[in-house]
Amino acid sequence: MTVAPNRRLVLDETAVRRTVHRLAHEILERAGPLETLALVGIRTRGLPLARRIAEVLLAAQALGGRRVPVGALDIALYRDDAFDGGSRVAVGASHLPFDVADRTIVLVDDVLYTGRTIRAALDALMDFGRPRRIKLAVLVDRGHRELPIQPDYVGQVLSTEPGQSVKVHLPEVDGGEAPDAVYLLDAPERGR
């Protein structure tokens, strides 16, 4: 795979897989009663990560062969910048195939930056009910918070400069032959 000069590979396919496994095992150790655990992936890249974590938990026989339920949360209408600039908001479907009441919900996302996405996810999740507790798992924490939001489970802490962004490539979302990867971008490009 050719990497553009303004991109630096931070995590390759092996490192992403190892990081997801570590996140799953940290959740297994610290999330509390596994019978009430559910994973909620924030669309777009949080959903495949949540599914991967659930597969690792299943493989670990953490729940005696039962799957941890996984839901998808679309936050487009809950973002505080959703209607800035007159652009149209692309809204996807949220799907939580379980009751959130009295559950431990682990929100899963790819990159934590300002905290605004997570704030929107919390608002969206509360429309489905009141969980017992909500935890946050992220593949990459790049800092620069604007809101007081901190992850409970972090795959990689990445120090970034204000002009940089982080791009996570997952084949389930981004298609193509390219494997899992996380890039640090020096110039503004699509990423966070």
Please indicate, yes or no, if residue 98 is contained in any of the structural domains.
Answer: yes
Per-residue pLDDT of the chain (192 residues; tens, 9 = 90+): 455 568 999 999 999 999 999 999 999 999 988 899 999 999 999 999 999 999 999 998 766 778 999 999 999 888 766 555 555 545 678 999 999 999 999 999 999 999 999 999 999 999 999 999 999 999 999 999 999 999 999 999 999 998 899 999 999 999 878 899 999 999 654 556
Q: Is position 20 within any domain?
A: yes
- How far is Cα 19 from Cα 57, in angstroms, rounded to an integer? 14
Quote the pLDDT of residue 1.
Answer: 47
- The CATH number assigned to the domain holding 135 equals 3.40.50.2020
Domain count across the chain:
1
Q: Is residue 189 one of the residues assigned to a domain?
A: no
CA pseudo-torsion sign 174, 161, 154, 97: negative
* CA atoms in the 13 A half-sphere facing the CB of 129: 13
Question: Can you give the pTM of this predicted structure?
Answer: 0.90
Domain annotation covers residue 188: no
Q: Six-digit token pair at 91?
A: 């809204």
**117 in Cβ contact with 42 (< 8 Å):** yes
Name which of 168, 107, 120, 171 is nearest 142 in CA terms.
168
Q: Is residue 180 part of a domain?
A: no
> What gap in Å lies between CA 155 and CA 189, rounded to an integer?
23
Q: With respect to residue 64, please indicate whether it lies within any of the assigned structural domains.
A: yes
- What's the rounded Cα separation, in Å, for the pair 31 and 42? 19
